[in-house]
Structure 1
Amino acid sequence: MSQHLISISVLGLMFVTATVLPVNMGVLAFVGAFLIGTFAAAMPAKAIMAGFPADLFLTLVGITYLFAVAQNNGTIDWLVRLAVRAVGGRIAAIPWIMFLIAALLTSVGAVSPAAVAIIAPIALGFAARYGINPLLMGLMVIHGAQGGGFSPMSIYGGITNKIVQKAGLPLNEMATAFASLGVNLAVAAGLFVAFGGLRLMRQSARPAAAPQAMANGVMAMGHPFNPGVPVAQGAQIFGDAEAEAGREERKTIAHDPDALLQSGGAAVSGAPGGLYQYLTVAGLAALAVLTLYCKLDIGFVSLTIALALALMAPEQQKRALSQVSWPEIMLIVGVSTYVGVMDKMGTIDFVGHSVAGLTSPMMAALLLCFVGAVVSAFASSTAVLGSLIPLAVPFLQQGSDVSAIGFIAAMAVSSTIVDVSPFSTNGALVLANAQGVDRQAFFRKLMVYGMLVTIIAPVALWLVFVVL
């Protein structure tokens, strides 16, 4: 067996192992890079470590640290309360508010499961209280989180844009961002109609007492709820987002949905937004301006803003660095390092030329979209983006009819929209927080929907972004 086939087989074994066992795929990837690089490619350790993506590492640490600071000081919860109060008594608007909040969180740097963990308990609490289909509400949250996932400030967007830029392919950051938002928004609209959204438009909310379990300060998942203490629950909860779904769903912290509608309530962080919250929002806005328009490095800028906010309340933020999503970062940089070893070995070119030789570039693009969707439904979306996009580089650089920008958009959305699967963390979080449902029946509905998305989405996205 050639060294190229060995490295590809090891990559596949990593996906399987990380899916079956609660082992971080980043650790597997680092070890794989060492073993394959040393024994299959005879590379020195220095050459192996040259593939470590220092810029991507800094980006991931910066934005997840900033998000942890914003979560700790109550800004995220404050923004959620403001958005939910804005709907008044319009029940039909609540699923869309949840969609937009989830999209906003991921667009400013939250990993997708972190956004779902924050919003899903609130959303599904509303669903149970006001008779909204829980499947509709849960899917709106997931598609919202995925819809905002490719902004230039986001985790997915940062990974994808750096990979494309490193490969020397045409880069259009906003094309991928709007493609993801547009597709998920269209799917959400279809779900809204299919699962009773039109009925909700004729229904209005009536104030009601909070559920007894919440009133007693005890949540369905066994966590105490203390309305006077900001709850740190963002990106720091999550490690390998898909492979560790079973453990992560039990770590979710739920919120009291009714307290969010009370004008004088103190659901989390107590009072209306104060100076610290306003400064945090200003910091997030500054991050967007400085990175999008001034073209400053997002990692350095986010760390600078996070440090400035932490210095304003050092006691409150002393845990923020430990809340950074280190397992997720380990996964991403580990896979990137392994792909770097494959690149130095010539495996990326080997695969690209082999795929292009077996079929037309158009069919090769479709095949890679399918592989991305299927693998991501069970494994990590971030790992898929880091490993599959480089495989397409050779045939995209050959001057084929396949648009690089269109393919990247199709590949990116195909690999993330399938996170509605109950085998992914997003799907598992929705399943865990659904109230008043038959768990087995709800699981089957999520699984069927996930299977349909995995089969249909790659073809539809390929047709829209690659063929047309």
Structure 2
Amino acid sequence: MNLEVLSQHMNLISLVVLAVVVAIGFIKKINIGFFSIGAAFILGLAGQMSAKDISKGFSSSMFVTLVGVTFFFGMASQNGTLDLFSKKIVALVGKRTYLIPILMFALSAFISAIGPGHIAAGILMTTFAVYLAFELDINPMATALYAKLGANAGCASTLSMTGILAKNLSEPLGYTGFGTHLFLTTLLSGFVFTLILYIYYKGYKVKGDNPLKLSDIPAFNRDQKITVAAIVIMVVACIGFKLDTGLFAFVAAAVLILLGCADEKKAIKSIPWGTLMLICGVGVLVNVIDKLGGITLVSDFLSSHMNQSTAAPIMAATSGILSWVSSTTGVVMPTLYPICDNIVKTFGSNVSYVELISAVTATSFAAAISPLSTGGAIIMSSYSAAKETTTDEMNKMFKTLFLLSVMNVVINVIMAALGVFNLGHLFY
């Protein structure tokens, strides 16, 4: 009898397991990817699932794609190509230093979009922005925020980790052809809040002597020129000719290795294995939860409290809150994308899947400047590395970042309520 009752409530139990896994990861500060696979196995056995069905949640194609892209751009980072490119672009501003804040956002978004993604681009550009701000004697917090918001804003391109993940999560559900829309909505979300901060921090009044002179910056060496060429070819091949991004990245990486343009061992070490296992590990657990009816249970609950007009803002708020205590790519997207699909099935053509996932993705990244997330942590660590800080300063920075994160989430929820993430059905 107990087993029968247990079987009838596996949908609720599966959600409790997910909550426990996320809570443990948040409290203990551990990678919940490996933990999720173990939890998925135990949960699956309790739900009478076979080991084969449990392991189906691990997307090997997505893993290969993410490894290929991060490996290739790890080389571009290790041989100094991305850093030198950033310095050359900033040097072009010259004495027009009021353009620095805008440039930090645009440059960071561009680097994030062509492949490295929000984590790699965020670390590179946020650190660069903080040191540049101290050199220019301008607000380092604001400058770091412009860079991190840019990295988040550009990360949903079809070449970047978030865009690749969105594609792999959506295709099994029957949705394709939304890549441009997702990229533009995430970019728009980041730009709106960056513009607000630009006005709030009076970025247009930035005055200072640009320490970067184009004449003082060295030219690209042989290895860096080949790397730049490889990046351009990859962008053209994958966007223009629709070639597989991950597999082409391996080809480009192999060429760089054969030509001696990068240190293979250093590039391998730069692959964010922990992040990849987080994404794929949680995917295994979410797949089990879905099979046991947990996703349907949440979808039914949310659907009962929304209508076709409130679906997008409610999903946006849900993703923002979840993102404060978990990873966007590791937890929020794998968990909420299937729920968006179920909501669409509930309301029919009156609700757009693409609009829902756009609201979910953009709002989740809006919350990701919180000091409890990777983005906020990068800003705080970059600041403390560049300048000795007191405990009071760090506490103030923590409070500021969290309040800005809350404000950003609220703005995105309002945007979702106004139908902004639909973009007039122009791109899907």
Q: Structure 1-normalised TM-score?
A: 0.82
- Supply the distance in 2 between the matched residues of 1:461 and 1:292 (Cα, whole angstroms): 28
Instruction: Spell out, residue by residue over 1:158-210, the C-alpha distance to the aligned partner (whole angstroms, 9 max, x if none).
Output: 1112212221135410011011112211221221121122222xx3416xxxx
- Supply the distance in 1 between the matched residues of 2:146 and 2:220 (Cα, whole angstroms): 27
Larger RCO, structures 1/2 (Cα 8 Å, 6+ apart): 1
1:205 aligned to 204, 209, 219, which one?
Answer: 209
- Supply the distance in 1 between the matched residues of 2:274 and 2:144 (Cα, whole angstroms): 25
Classify the secondary structure of the residue corresponding to 2:263.
coil
| 2:74 is the counterpart of 1:68 | yes
Aligned to 1:333: 280
Instruction: Spell out, residue by residue over 1:298-353, the C-alpha distance to the aligned partner (whole angstroms, 9 max, x if none).
Output: 11111111111112117722332232111000000111111222233333334323
Query: Contact 2:25–2:32 at 8 Å: present in 1 too?
Result: yes
| 2:245 is the counterpart of 1:292 | no
User: Mean alpha-carbon deviation: is it higher for 97-106 or for 327-336?
Assistant: 97-106
Query: Contact 1:369–1:462 at 8 Å: present in 2 too?
Result: no
What is the CA-CA distance between 1:421 and the residue it aligns to? 0.8
Aligned to 1:264: 216
Amino acid at match of 2:209: A
| 2:344 is the counterpart of 1:388 | no
Aligned to 2:3: none
Q: Which runs of 5+ in 1 are unaligned?
A: 207-257, 266-270
Instruction: Spell out, residue by residue over 1:355-409, the C-alpha distance to the aligned partner (whole angstroms, 9 max, x if none).
Output: 3244424434432221210111221111211111111211213414112221121
Classify the secondary structure of the residue corresponding to 2:404.
helix
For 1:149-228, list aligned pairs within 5 A: 149-169=155-175, 171-200=177-206, 203-205=207-209
Amino acid at match of 1:363: T
User: Mean alpha-carbon deviation: is it higher for 317-326 or for 373-382?
Assistant: 317-326
Query: Contact 1:63–1:299 at 8 Å: present in 2 too?
Result: yes
Identity %: 27
| 2:138 is the counterpart of 1:132 | yes
Query: Contact 1:362–1:467 at 8 Å: present in 2 too?
Result: no
Q: Structure 2-normalised TM-score?
A: 0.89
Classify the secondary structure of the residue corresponding to 1:302.
helix
| 2:17 is the counterpart of 1:10 | yes
CA distance change for structure 1 residues 314 and 283 in 2, over 3 Å: closer, same or farther? closer
- Supply the distance in 1 between the matched residues of 2:395 and 2:296 (Cα, whole angstroms): 45
Amino acid at match of 2:319: G
Classify the secondary structure of the residue corresponding to 1:387.
helix
Q: Which runs of 5+ in 2 are unaligned?
A: 1-5
Aligned to 1:407: 356
- Supply the distance in 1 between the matched residues of 2:423 and 2:113 (Cα, whole angstroms): 28
Aligned to 1:454: 409
Please list every run of at least 4 consecutive aligned residues from structure 1 whose deviation after the TM superposition is greater than 6 angstroms.
none
Aligned to 1:367: 314
Amino acid at match of 1:15: V
CA distance change for structure 1 residues 348 and 443 in 2, over 3 Å: closer, same or farther? closer
For 1:9-28, list aligned pairs within 5 A: 9-28=16-35
CA RMSD of the aligned region, Å? Answer: 2.1
Query: Contact 1:170–1:405 at 8 Å: present in 2 too?
Result: no
Query: Contact 2:313–2:416 at 8 Å: present in 1 too?
Result: no
Query: How many residues are matched?
Result: 408
- Supply the distance in 2 between the matched residues of 1:374 and 1:355 (Cα, whole angstroms): 15
Query: Contact 1:414–1:458 at 8 Å: present in 2 too?
Result: yes
